[in-house]
């Protein structure tokens, strides 16, 4: 992602992987010191870093926001952002945060790119229970090739006549195999490292997807989904979204077979798609990044 960040006019510094937290903190401080301006806020999004790193890396007067959704380690931060639906992990933050830390919890604060909010109204208007286009997106790397399993499942189902958009990351190790698989299927298109995700979601009628952060992008656009959990970390969140009616959870991805995808698609009705779309749209409106940025800016001026 470094090249993409720099292409948008930002400075990006790459640190070595696998360091202990103290050495990482030292190198982070050095990288920040090399910039022209002293930042008022530091934002850390890293499952391997905790309060020790956060205390060490910031200097006097700097604020820090930690992004987390595991609630499995202490933080020393002014703001804690966990954009996932209410779940048992949220209660654990009471024991992991300073009393003064403000918590931003739930999809109201989901960091969704602005193009999704721009597409929201038009996408919701076209949701009518039809199933003419399917979007398959299983994350950037997808080491188990859940994408290929889902493609196989779609084309075993009664939705096999639908157009299918398959989204993969540039680092997907199964890229050539997927390209060959999709080339042999009518109406199946592969998109690699696309920046058109909002457009693809808007025109899709159903997504087959993993239960990661793309969930909130999908909800902004009211896109129904068949979802799988690709890790134990994803499972509680995917279950909460399923309980809210915003997708159907098929289970852990390593246990889901093409026939499972096919059976779920064959069971999908226009009413189910419409109800799932409405439930998804209520969970996230796409304004979370603006809310968080506004809070950071007003806090800094206070």
The rounded average pLDDT for each run of 10 residues, N- to C-terminus, in the chain (302 residues) is: 90 91 94 84 95 91 93 97 91 96 96 96 95 94 94 94 95 94 93 95 97 93 97 89 97 97 97 97 97 91 55
Our CA angle for 221, 226, 232, nearest 5°, is 105
Domain definitions of the chain by residue range:
2-111+287-301, 114-283
The first and second tokens of residue 277, run together, are 């779309």
Polymer length in residues for the chain: 302
Residue 172's CB is within 10 A of a number of other CB atoms, namely: 22
What does the DSSP 8-state code read for residue 80? Answer: E
Distances (CA, A) of 69 to 53, 121, 167, 178, 275: 18, 29, 25, 31, 28
CATH class of 2-111+287-301: alpha beta
Q: Do 2-111+287-301 and 114-283 have matching folds?
A: yes
Residue 140's CB is within 10 A of a number of other CB atoms, namely: 14
pLDDT number for residue 51: 97
pLDDT number for residue 301: 58
CA dist., res. 260 & res. 269, Å (int): 16
User: CATH classification of 114-283, choosing from 3.30.200.20, 1.10.760.10, 3.40.50.300, 3.40.50.2000?
Assistant: 3.40.50.2000
Q: Rounded to two decimals, what is the model's pTM?
A: 0.90
The first and second tokens of residue 107, run together, are 């999809």
CA dist., res. 113 & res. 119, Å (int): 11
17 three-class SS? coil
């Amino acid at each position: 992602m470094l090249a993409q960040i720099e292409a948008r006019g930002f400075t990006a510094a790459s640190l070595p992987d696998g360091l202990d937290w103290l050495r990482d903190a030292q190198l982070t401080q050095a990288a920040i010191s090399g910039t022209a301006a002293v930042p008022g806020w530091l934002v850390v999004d890293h499952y391997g870093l905790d309060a020790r790193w956060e205390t060490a890396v910031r200097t006097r007067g700097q604020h820090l926001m930690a992004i987390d959704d595991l609630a499995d380690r202490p933080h020393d931060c002014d703001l804690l952002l966990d954009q996932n639906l209410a779940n048992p992990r949220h209660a654990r933050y009471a024991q992991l945060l300073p009393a003064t830390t403000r918590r931003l919890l739930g999809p109201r604060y989901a960091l969704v790119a602005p193009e999704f909010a721009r597409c929201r109204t038009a996408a919701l208007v076209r949701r009518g229970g039809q199933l003419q286009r399917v979007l398959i997106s299983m994350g950037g790397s997808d080491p188990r090739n859940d994408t290929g399993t889902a493609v196989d499942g779609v084309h075993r189902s009664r939705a096999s006549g639908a157009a299918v958009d398959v989204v993969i990351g540039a680092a997907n190790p199964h890229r050539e195999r997927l390209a060959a698989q999709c080339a042999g299927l009518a109406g199946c298109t592969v998109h690699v490292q696309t920046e058109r995700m909002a457009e693809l979601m808007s025109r899709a009628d159903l997504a087959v997807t993993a239960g990661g952060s793309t969930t909130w992008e999908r909800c902004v656009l009211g896109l129904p989904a068949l979802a799988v959990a690709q890790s134990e970390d994803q499972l509680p969140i995917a279950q909460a979204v399923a309980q809210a009616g915003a997708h159907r959870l098929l289970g852990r991805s390593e246990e889901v077979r093409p026939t499972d995808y096919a059976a779920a698609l064959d069971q999908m009705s226009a009413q189910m798609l419409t109800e799932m779309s409405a439930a998804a749209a209520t969970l996230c409106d796409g304004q979370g990044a603006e809310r968080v940025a506004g809070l950071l800016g007003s806090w800094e001026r206070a």
